[in-house]
A and B are shown apart, each in its own frame.
Chain A
């Protein structure tokens, strides 16, 4: 059974910037684990420590109980799709993979299988320098899959892919995670992302990082179950429904043309409407999205540990701000509000 285990994982760059701060997590096989967090939360650094590219300042992250560099056949244990991974521009895609095959003692037939899988067979003899961002990303995926690894780690894999490519990747990762290779426990697939709507479609488990620390870990469904739910009803009898719901002890307000009941479920609201014979045109039950869960977990936190991050400026001022007087090149110092806010 493949395992990934981080204990007290810490990375301090140049003795100053604390990128990852005493991180503990376990990855669970059989599903896709989302590695989420805002920019600078330490996602990439953590993944690179997992892959032996970055040395932890303290703590450890182990693959199947070993450090990456102690794995006898790393290519066959764990595959990685990394953002800043390189290609020699003058080398062909096929040769790029054949080099990996040589290093990992894999047959060249594996190169052709992987090229085929990611749809690069036709351009395999073209130089990578002429590849689009999406083609490079596919080549990177092909390289990661060379050793049929039980663990797949992808850092922002959707970057550069077109919508079709993203959909394909989504299906592929689901398939790859659920497929039971040898041990019968499924594989570990870790996908780091800052695109939450995208991640929500793929992941089963989440590990949320903020400022280099673990903010939450668990099954996405469980995390979302513990969050706020609400029911919105569109009805011509809004006023009567609000009264009826309040009489039933449910919090109800009328806003934006809907009767909104925070913390309610349709099972609670439905009987009240039937009892009072209220006509319903629309009823929507919603759980909190991953996005709002994410903001509640990471919201207001600085981007990096120990370093206060400046919040983004108020974009509404961008167009509506007072125009500078035509004669002056610079904004007068008395103009209201700088673009970048300060804490």
Chain B
């Protein structure tokens, strides 16, 4: 199994598409992070009311948006298995290890690792974003008149408002609260992607199904039947973060963090298992 794992890791780092996924993650993280940071009110996902720039809640929102990286982890998981079929490298792979279940097991392990790396890079990017925001001394004033941005501390005091300025302490506190959940969720989402890929085998179909389900179908189910919704992969991953997040003010119904982790693991392994005994057993011609 060690050889199989090493081979799977080598497969990943010897092709450029893996680095492209990494690059996309970093670019999207920077984009989303700064957009949320400078959006008026800094709203994010059901956070009620206005969030003053520079507050701890504001940092939480900035970091929480980075969990979108899990969509790319899902794509990476899909690529890890469907890429073999697409480029027909599945032939040499199954020649060297004809027990296909062992290959899938190694791929499950490696996609989890790759997902964790993706999550870690996401949160490192988040740290960079946070440090930049602290460096820019982003600040605002919360007073009876509402949230004022770019108001000086003196003017804020004159209005009897609360003055916020982005500081390292808040940033670090919020980052360390959110990071574990995002990293674990990203890792588990890669397993989920691998399961999807193992079941559907076709790269494009698996990516489209995975993204549409997560982005569209799941949102609808969550809105209509929240009791079912909390067991779905996306909400399960959010549950991981929420345990760490202190000031989440959304209304969504979520499982405890270990329940979310368990659900994601079940999705990934169950899909991979069904895939191993159905699609992956088919003839390689």
Contact = CB atoms under 8 A, between A and B. Distances in A.
A69 B284 CA distance: 14
A68 B98 contact: yes
Interface of B: 3-4, 6-7, 10-11, 14-17, 83, 87-99, 281, 283-285
Interface of A: 13, 44-45, 48, 51-55, 68-69, 71, 74-75, 80, 82, 84-92, 95-96, 98-100, 102-105, 143
A96 B83 CA distance: 14
Given A102-B6, A102-B7, A88 B98 contact: no
A88 B92 CA distance: 11
Contact of B15 (A75, A90, A143): A90
Nearest to A68: B98
A9 B216 CA distance: 49
Contacts of A74: 95-98
Contacts of B11: 88, 99
B87 A82 contact: no
Given A53-B91, A88-B15, A98-B10, A103 B4 contact: yes
A164 to B, nearest CB: 26
B89 A87 contact: yes
Greatest chain A CB density within 10 A among B83, B88, B95, B283 is at: B95
The 8 closest A-B pairs by CB, nearest first: A86-B88, A102-B7, A69-B98, A103-B96, A95-B14, A53-B284, A54-B283, A52-B98
B8 to A, nearest CB: 9
B283 A86 contact: no
Nearest to A146: B96
B100 to A, nearest CB: 8
Contacts of B91: 53, 82, 84-86
Contact of B90 (A68, A69, A86): A86
B87 A88 contact: yes
Contacts of A54: 283-285
The CB with the most chain B CB atoms within 10 A, among A44, A53, A55, A71, is that of: A53
B95 A75 contact: yes
A55 B282 CA distance: 8
Contact of B92 (A45, A95, A143): A143
Contacts of A45: 285
B93 to A, nearest CB: 7
20 contacts: A44-B285, A45-B285, A52-B95, A53-B284, A69-B98, A75-B96, A84-B88, A90-B15, A90-B16, A90-B17, A91-B14, A95-B14, A98-B10, A99-B14, A102-B6, A102-B7, A102-B10, A103-B3, A103-B4, A103-B96
